A and B are shown apart, each in its own frame.
Chain A
Amino acid sequence: MRLRLRVWRQRSAEHAGQLVGYDVDGVEGDMSFLEMLDLLNLGLSRKGEEPVAFDHDCREGICGSCSLVIDGVPHGPRSATTACQLYMRHFRDDQAIVVEPWRAAAFPVIRDLVVDRGALDRVLQAGGYVSVKAGSAPDANTLPVARQCAERAFQAASCIGCGACVAACPNASAMLFVAAKLGQFAALPQGQPERMHRAIAMVESMDDEGFGNCGNHYECVAVCPKSIPQDFIARLNREFFHAAMTAHEFASLPEHEEHEE
Chain B
Amino acid sequence: MYRLLRLFRTSIGSKLMMAVSGLVLVGFVTGHLVGNLKVFQGQEAINDYAAWLQGHPLLWGIRLTILAVFALHVYTGIRLARENSAARPRRYAVRTVVDTGFAARHMLFSGLTVLAFVIYHLLHLTIGVIQPEYAGLLDRAGRPDVYTRLVLGLSNPWLAAIYATAVVLVGLHLWHAVRSMLQTLGLGHDAWRRATDVGTGVFSTLVVAGFLSMPVAAQLGWLSVPLTVPR
Contacts and interface: CB of A to CB of B under 8 A. Distances in A.
Contacts of B99: 217-219, 221-222
Contact of B104 (A206, A215, A236): A215
A254 B183 contact: no
Interface stretch (B4-12, B57-65, B140-148): B4-12
A41 interface: no
Nearest to A210: B87
Interface residues of A, number: 53
Interface stretch (A28-36, A42-50, A65-73, A136-144): A65-73
A206 B91 CA distance: 21
A172 B87 contact: yes
A230 B193 contact: yes
Contact of A222 (B6, B98, B105, B180): B98
Interface string B82-102: 011011111111111111100
B189 interface: yes
Interface string B175-188: 01001100111111
A202 to B, nearest CB: 11
Interface in B6-20: 6-7, 9-16
B200 to A, nearest CB: 11
Given A170-B84, A213-B11, A213-B84, A233 B91 contact: no
A214 to B, nearest CB: 7
Given A233-B183, A236-B12, A237-B15, A219 B98 contact: yes
Interface stretch (A51-59, A98-106, A120-128, A187-195): A98-106
Contacts of B94: 71-72, 98, 100
A185 B97 CA distance: 31
A173 B87 contact: yes
Interface of B: 2-3, 6-7, 9-16, 80, 83-84, 86-100, 104-105, 107, 176, 179-180, 183-190, 193
Given A203-B10, A254-B6, 17 more contacts: A98-B94, A105-B87, A105-B89, A170-B105, A207-B10, A211-B87, A212-B83, A213-B14, A215-B80, A216-B179, A218-B100, A230-B183, A236-B12, A237-B15, A237-B185, A250-B7, A252-B2
Interface of A: 6, 8, 19, 69, 71-73, 98, 100, 103-106, 168, 170-173, 203-204, 206-207, 210-219, 221-223, 229-231, 233-238, 240-241, 244-245, 250-254
